[in-house]
Amino acid sequence: MCKKNLIILSFLFISTGIFGQNMGVGLRLGDPLAISFKKYMNGRKNAVEFNLGSYGYMYGYGRYNNGIYSGRYRYYKDYYYKQGGVVIMGNYLWHKPFKKANEVSLYVGVGGQLRTLNYLKDDDRNGYYDREVSGIGIGPDGVIGIEWIPKEIPEIGLFLDTRVYLEVIPQPWIIPQVGVGVRYNFK
């Protein structure tokens, strides 16, 4: 755990040095729960955002007892998600400030996600656990959100967004995601 935290902190300091100005670093609460990095461009009209965190813990845990599952496993076709995993998300964003409240902006964006997967596989589809499998999930996502950066405290930004993630690999399915967060903006 200490090694994981050290890697995250190193990444945070390196990215702050690389991006420096017009960058925000913060925390995104929801699904996924993530550290959020945002680089503003073109006078805050555009941005590139990266999130590193974990997903699936809102629906992830259940129980396996004598070959039968109970609890809150997320079922899809022939497998159950056993627990959440690590996610890396990247998006290109277009910001549009509101005319009367210039400190509030609406944003939309496109990007993708890379996820680690841990699931229980039911190979013969009889409802019993056959094997535990780990893998990678990949797919595009789209985001729409709202961001507020107060003029009195421009170092702090609050945001709310919703995403739709289309997992393409290993099997196609749509996952809606909602998050709220706060960022510290470097000038």
Q: Give residue-wise pLDDT tens across range 44-59.
A: 899 999 999 988 765 5
Q: CA 124, CA 87: separation in Å to the nearest integer? A: 29
- CATH of the domain spanning 2-186: 2.40.160.20
pTM score > 0.95 for this model? no
Q: Give residue-wise pLDDT tens across range 65-78.
A: 555 555 445 555 55
Q: Tell me the sheet residues that pair with 140.
A: 112
25, 33 Cβ separation under 8 angstroms: no
Q: Which residue has the higher pLDDT, 11 or 60?
A: 11
